[in-house]
Structure 1
Amino acid sequence: MAESKKIATRAAYGEFLVQEGANNDKLIVMDADLSGSTKTKEFARVFPERFVQSGIAEQDLMAEAAGIALSGHVVCASTFAMFAAGRAYEIIRNSIGYTGANVKICATHAGITVGEDGASHQTFEDIALMREIPGMVVINPSDAVSAKKLLKQAVDMEGPAYVRLGRSAVPVLYDEDHEFKLGKAETLREGDDVTIIATGIMTAAALEAAETLAGEGIQARVLDMHTIKPLDEDAVISAARETGKIVTAEEHSVIGGLGSAVAEVVVKNCPVPVEMVGQKDVFGESGKPDELLKKYGMTAEDIVEAVRKLAKN
C-alpha cells in the first residue's frame, strides 16, 4: 500500500464528478454556495447545464435534489456535513429517505478536522443521524482511492446514500487498482490478538497504532469499515471470535456511530470487550486539526492506549 502522498477525500470527490460526468449524462450535481470548498466547482465549469447552485438554503437543496432524482436523474448534492445532516435532516428523511430518491448526499468538512471553523461546523452526529434513516446507505472513505471507487458504486446503485468526506489531506492507503465493495470491510493488516475497526481518517491512525503495538508483541488486525450501513457483520463477528477484543476508531461521536454499530453486532452474536475511540460527549473548539485530534482523543496513540486497556483486562 502506498503512503507517500496525502489527498483530501473532498478533492477526490471533485475529480470523480468530472470523470463520471463525462460518461453519465443522467448525473446532476448540486451545491449550497460552497462549490469551491466541496470541490463541485470544476464539474460546474465543465458541465454548467447539469449543475444547480441552490445558494445558502440547504433544505431547498435537498428538496430540489429529491425532485430532480425522482424525475429520472441521479443527483450528487453537496454542502458541509453540519449543514447537510443537521440543517436539512427533516428534508433528507422525508423527501429523500422516505421516497427512496436516487440522491447521493456528498457531505464534506465532517468531524473535528474542520479545525479553525470551530464547534458550530464540527459535526460528530452525522453518521448517527443518517444510519437511522431506513434504506440510507452510509459511506465513510478512508482515502482518495477508496473515495472515488465507492462514490462510483454509490452513483451506480439505486436509492439514497450519504457519503462522508473530509477537509484535510489524508494518506493514500490503497493502490489505484484496488477493488472495493459497498458493505464489505477491507482487511489492511492481519492479527490474532485484537481487532481495530476503523473508518474514515482514523484508518491511517489504526495502521500506525498497529505498528506500535507490534513492537510490544501485540498483533492487531486492522479493518477499514468504509461502509457503516450496511455494516459488514460477518467481518465483525469473525473479528470477535478470532481475536476476542475489538477497538473501534472514528472521527465521530462514540454515541451512534461506528462504535455503536459494531457493538450492536457484537452483543447479539459474540459478546467480547469493545473499546471506542472517537469524540466523547462534548463539543469541539477552534484549532489546528492535528491539535484537536490529540486534545479530543482521536490519534494513533489513543488507539494504542485503548488496546492496552483491553490487554490489562
Structure 2
Amino acid sequence: MSAAAQARPEARAGTRPAPRSGARAGRLAAGAAAGAVRVFLVLAALFWLMPTLGLLISSFLSPTDLNKGGWWQALTAPTRLTADNYERLLANDTITGALLSTVAIAVPATLLVVALGSFAGYAFAWLEFPGRDWLFLVVVGLLVVPVQVALIPVSELFGAIGLFETTAGVVLFHTAFGLPFAVFLLRNFFAEIPRELLEAARLDGAGELRLFTRVVLPLGGPAIASLGIFQFLWVWNDMLVALVFADSANPPITVALQQQVRQFGNNIDVLAPGAFLSMVVPLVVFFAFQRQFVTGVMAGAVK
C-alpha cells in the first residue's frame, strides 16, 4: 500500500465533526442561562406585584385583623378573609357615585380625543392646506406644556363661562391636553400608509370621508387602540385635574378616596377595597384591548 493511501484515512479522520457531547453541553448551558433569566423575571414580577397583592389581601381583611398585623397574616390564616369591606364600600353612596362620576369623565374624554385626534392626524398626514407643517409644529410644541401651567388660567376661564366644578369642564380639560399627543401619534402612523393604496381608493370614486372611514381607520386600528388605552388610563387615574375642576359634591374616585383619608384618618378597610376597585376597570380595559395595544406599539416601533 502506498504512503498516500495510508495517509488518506488519517486525513479523513482529521475532518470528522466534533463530538456531540460538546454541542449537547452548549445546549445545556444555553438552556440553563435561559432558565435563570426566566426565574429572575418571575421573581422581579412578583416583587413588582407585591404591593398590589398586599392591597388585594388587605381589602379582604377586617379592620380588627388589620390592626393586629400586616396583610401577610392571611397567608397562614386564610379563614380571616372576608368580603364585608366590599359590601360596606358598595353600600357607600359616596364611593359608588364617585365610580359613576369617573366613568362619566373618562369615557367621553377618551372618545373625544380618539375621534378628534384621528381626524386631525389624517388631515396632517394626507391633506394639503396652507400652513400645514407650521401648524403641526405648533401641535408638537404643545406636548411640552405641563398641566400645572394651565390650571389657574383655565380655572378663571371656566369660572367665567360656568364650567368650573362641572363634569363637562373636566372632560374638556382632559380632551385639550390629550389632543396634542393624539395628533402627533396618529399623524405619524397614518403617514406610513402606502400612498398607492389611497390613490387606488380615490380612483374608485372614494371621497375623503369614505377614504378615512373605509381605508385609514381600519389600517390605523392598532394605533387608535393604543391611544385609547393610554388616554383612558391617564384620565381614570388622574387626581390633580379632578381635584381642581371636578364637582366637590360628586368627585371622581381618586378624589373621593382622598377625602375618605382626610375625614376618617387611616381607615385602610375603606381605602384598600376602594383603591383595588378603582384598579379593576383599567385592568379590564387593558386586557380587553391587549392584542391591539401590543400590535400598535410594535408597529410604531418598527415604523
TM-score (norm. length: structure 2) = 0.23
TM-score (norm. length: structure 1) = 0.22
Higher strand proportion: 1
Higher helix proportion: 2
Higher relative contact order (CA 8 A, sep 6+): 2
Which structure: larger Rg?
Answer: 2
